[in-house]
């Protein structure tokens, strides 16, 4: 499977995760979000950026429990709830955030 962004073909796997994470940029995230029915808002970008920064420090993409913990520590306690993240990213927020952030699927996600 592949997406076209800014005239370039970007390969994704069967689940929509980038094959080469170095291809990620904001335009790729926008295209992936459209393909998965997520309209990105400032709230989405806040979480995506936080997860990318988390992984830039050598960490794995967070599972749901770790994602909630990171939101609590880095963003806002009121946003550190599964319900909030599900409203933004759907039924599997950790998986969708990783996908849109150009990261591999979190280890504990089905």
Asked whether 18 and 10 are in contact (CB, 8 A), the reply is yes
For each of the chain's 110 residues, which pLDDT tens digit applies? 789 999 999 999 999 999 999 999 999 999 999 999 999 999 999 999 999 999 999 999 999 999 999 999 999 899 999 999 999 999 999 999 999 999 999 987 76
pLDDT at res. 1: 79
Whether 23 is a known active-site residue: answer no
Beta strands in the chain (DSSP E): 2-5, 8-11
List 3, 23, 40, 109, catalytic entry: 109
Task: Give the CA distances from residue 5 to residues 48, 68, 88, in Å, rounded to whole numbers and listed in that order.
Answer: 19, 31, 23
- Please, are residues 12 and 86 in contact by the beta-carbon 8 Å criterion? no
Surface-to-core class of residue 23, CB atoms within 10 Å of its CB (0-12 exposed, 13-18 middle, 19+ buried)? middle
- Which residue ranges form the domains of the chain, and what is each CATH number? 2-35 (3.30.1420), 42-100 (1.10.10)
Burial 28-40 (b: 16+ CB within 10 A, else e): bbebbbeeeebeb
């Amino acid at each position: 499977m592949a997406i076209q962004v800014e005239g370039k073909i970007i390969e994704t796997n069967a689940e929509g995760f980038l094959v080469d994470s170095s291809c990620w940029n904001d335009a790729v995230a926008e295209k992936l979000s459209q393909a998965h029915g997520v309209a990105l808002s400032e709230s989405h970008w806040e979480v995506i950026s936080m997860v990318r920064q988390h992984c830039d420090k050598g960490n794995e993409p967070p599972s749901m429990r770790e994602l909630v913990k990171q939101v609590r520590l880095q963003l806002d306690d009121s946003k550190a709830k599964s319900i909030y993240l599900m409203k933004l990213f759907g039924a599997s927020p950790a998986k969708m955030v990783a996908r849109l952030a150009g990261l591999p699927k979190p280890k504990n996600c089905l």
